[in-house]
Chains A and B, each alone.
Chain A
Amino acid sequence: KAGVTQTPRYLIKTRGQQVTLSCSPISGHRSVSWYQQTPGQGLQFLFEYFSETQRNKGNFPGRFSGRQFSNSRSEMNVSTLELGDSALYLCASSLGQGKYTGELFFGEGSRLTVL
């Protein structure tokens, strides 16, 4: 069974640009969550999508957005990039329904550097 796939793995942008990151969940998983990981703030929850609907959103500015497609693939977008957006962005998938197990399956992340 293929794992969670994130693309691109590495990217460099300049301030003011925008970026789109992609995540393909494990087959059959309908929930996709996004986390931002930085040395200073640790792991912070961005948002969760289930069946193309955003179910929950973390405390991030409106520059951070996401969406989910009918095949459960998800994208997140960051507009007007700031230096502080430099981070590892992790995507995680799960079944998203039924008895909650708490197990998330993470991708290897997309490392964004903003210059």
Chain B
Amino acid sequence: GNSVTQMEGPVTLSEEAFLTINCTYTATGYPSLFWYVQYPGEGLQLLLKATKADDKGSNKGFEATYRKETTSFHLEKGSVQVSDSAVYFCALPYFSGSARQLTFGSGTQLTVLP
């Protein structure tokens, strides 16, 4: 079945530092890939996605490139802000008949210090 392996946290960075959170996946075919973010006290929200190999998803300064050769979808940001402190989840879909669900990675807690 589909699975996601995500970089363990927590990650602590200073403001304006470069961020990379690693994500690799195992799946049949080439599914869409997603990054979700959970800010403190809130539910998850979609951060970005890529629907096919070599696609780059981007949003709010974050980027991730779908690399089928390495089955990876690493999240990057060139200059993090304190407001980026949150938990980040890599995810891919799983289909079973008409059912649809997302399989999430373990999550990476990011803390950005001023």
Contact = CB atoms under 8 A, between A and B. Distances in A.
Interface of A: 4, 31, 33, 35, 42-43, 45, 48, 50, 55-56, 58, 90, 92, 94, 96, 100, 102-109
Contacts of A50: 98
Interface stretch (B22-30, B43-51, B71-79): B43-51
Interface in B78-114: 89, 91, 93, 95-107
B107 A43 contact: yes
Task: Sort A-B residue pairs by CB-CB distance and give the 6 closest, nearest first.
Answer: A106-B43, A56-B99, A55-B99, A43-B104, A106-B44, A42-B106
Given A102-B34, A106-B45, A107-B43, A45 B100 contact: no
Contacts of B61: none
B14 interface: no
B102 A104 contact: yes
Contacts of A45: 101-103
Q: Is the interface of B mostly helix, strand, loop or mixed?
A: strand
Contacts of B97: 55-56
A33 B93 CA distance: 13
A33 B44 contact: no
A90 B107 CA distance: 15
A103 B46 contact: yes
22 contacts: A33-B101, A42-B105, A42-B106, A42-B107, A43-B44, A43-B89, A43-B104, A45-B102, A45-B103, A48-B101, A50-B98, A55-B98, A55-B99, A55-B100, A56-B96, A56-B99, A56-B100, A100-B32, A102-B49, A104-B44, A106-B44, A106-B45
A104 B107 CA distance: 17
A34 to B, nearest CB: 10
Contacts of A96: 100
Given A90-B44, A107-B43, A108-B43, A31 B100 contact: yes
Contacts of B46: 103-104
B91 to A, nearest CB: 8
Contacts of B32: 100, 102
